[in-house]
Amino acid sequence: MIVSVIGGGGLVGSCAAYALQCGGVVSGIDLIDANADKGRGEALDILHGTSIAADQRIRAGSYELIPESDIVVITAGLRRKPEESRLDLIGRNVELFQTILSSVKLAGLKRDAIVLVVSNPVDVLTYLATRQLGLPSNQVISLGTQLDSARFRSLIADALKLPPTQVTATILGEHGDSMVPIWSAAQAAGLPLDKFPGWTANTADALFAKTRGSGAEVIKLKGGAGFAVGLAIREVIHSIALDQKRILPVGSLVNGVYGMRDVCISVPSVIGRKGVESQIEIELSPKELSGLRNSAKVLRETIDMVLAKNPAANTSTSAAKPSTAVAPSHAVKVTMGSGGSTGSARVTISGQRGGGRNG
């Protein structure tokens, strides 16, 4: 499987490429960047490690590489400033993103290609990509709250002095200020988190606030996130490449899940070779459900604003309807967690029907 990284010369793109090299699953990694020298330099640096890491083909180039790509990762975009929200980036990033989408379409995507959007504001840009690329909506995925959930688990583990892979917790909704922590499903070492010794409501509030502010903190300290987001991207790509059917908190177009419609937002999603193979409704508390719907409302209002201000973005070349690979949503009980160093998922499902299965 060949992965192209648009923005591969940047921090996020190069870290994603390196994470994929260390993972050793995909057969080829192509770096595409507007700064051709930077893209070639990052590709050459990665190429030098192939004899140590994995038997992979590493290339740098331009959009002529897209027709060979099984997965296209879009990381290119202007960086967020520490004081900016991800939604504040819209005015500065939509025009650039439109240019990228046009170049990808002109180059020509494989019919079964998966597009993974990482550029911010990721939920809004994924909606634009879903409308304009001409692919079934299940083949256009946002990294969504995958990174937020990884940060969440890691910070909880650090606070409780637990191995990070023993923490199961997730964040849904917007990759931004309206994100929603799903405390009702959180566990530590197999125990309900709210029953864990020393756990308090104040601890929960502090850890979620720290998680929500993590992106801005990293930007302030080092200029932008790289390593963790690269690993988050790899986890999604490996689930596609290996057809693992892992349940991950990524974003894609929803139409009916939790009563939300016509918005790209993160919900528990079964990820396999066809992209988002189903979206799953786990049981949420009333507060969590209200927060998730509010997050969708915030994103829908932003999408409407973008479409009103950008006539080119308002042109749809796709019906944006899921293919038959996307099964109807249904209520299930799900426990989600990181697979640790082995890459295996810790997922427990009861009451599930249809397309998703244990990964």
Report pLDDT digits (tens) over 25-62: 999 999 999 999 999 999 999 999 999 999 999 999 99
Mean pLDDT, the chain, whole residue set: 87
Cβ–Cβ < 8 Å for 168, 187: yes
Strand order in the sheet with 57-61: 57-61, 28-32, 2-6, 71-74, 114-117, 140-142, 246-255, 261-272, 275-279
pLDDT tens digits for 113-151?
Answer: 999 999 999 999 999 999 999 999 999 999 999 999 999
Q: Where in the chain is the domain with CATH 3.90.110.10?
A: 145-359
What is the predicted pLDDT for the residue at 52? 96
List 48, 175, 238, 330, catalytic entry: 175
Q: What's the rounded Cα separation, in Å, for the pair 143 and 116?
A: 7
What is the predicted pLDDT for the residue at 234? 98
pLDDT tens digits for 155-201?
Answer: 999 999 999 999 999 999 999 999 999 999 999 988 899 888 889 99
What is the predicted pLDDT for the residue at 197? 87
Q: Which fold has domain 145-359?
A: L-2-Hydroxyisocaproate Dehydrogenase; Chain A, domain 2 (3.90.110)
What is the β-pairing status of strands 57-61 and 28-32?
Answer: parallel
What is the predicted pLDDT for the residue at 202? 95
Instruction: Extract the tokens encoding 112.
Output: 């079964």
Instruction: State the burial class of residue 168 (Cβ atoms within 10 Å of its Cβ: 0-12, 13-18, 19+).
Output: buried
Quick check: is 238 catalytic?
Answer: no
Cβ–Cβ < 8 Å for 274, 138: yes
Name the CATH code of domain 2-142 (choices 3.40.50.720, 1.20.870.10, 3.30.450.40, 3.20.20.210): 3.40.50.720
Cβ–Cβ < 8 Å for 293, 174: no
What is the predicted pLDDT for the residue at 182? 97
Q: Name the percent of the chain in helix, strand, coil, to the closest 5.
A: 45, 20, 35
What is the predicted pLDDT for the residue at 85? 65
CA 233 to chain CA mean position, Å: 7
Q: What's the rounded Cα separation, in Å, for the pair 315 and 299?
A: 19
What is the predicted pLDDT for the residue at 344? 35
Using pLDDT thresholds of 50, 70 and 90, give the confidence band for residue 92. confident
Q: What's the rounded Cα separation, in Å, for the pair 264 and 269?
A: 12
Instruction: Extract the tokens encoding 154.
Output: 């890691």
Listed in sequence order, the residues at least 6 apart from 177 whose beta carbon sits closer than 8 Å to its beta carbon are 85, 86, 87, 212
**Residue 338 DSSP code:** -
pLDDT tens digits for 262-272?
Answer: 999 999 999 99
Average pLDDT of 73-88?
74
Using pLDDT thresholds of 50, 70 and 90, give the confidence band for residue 102. very high
Q: Where in the chain is the domain with CATH 3.40.50.720?
A: 2-142
Cβ–Cβ < 8 Å for 249, 142: no
Rounded to 5°, the CA angle 72-276-16 comes to 35
pLDDT at position 339 over 70: no
pLDDT tens digits for 284-301?
Answer: 999 999 999 999 999 999
pLDDT at position 69 over 60: yes
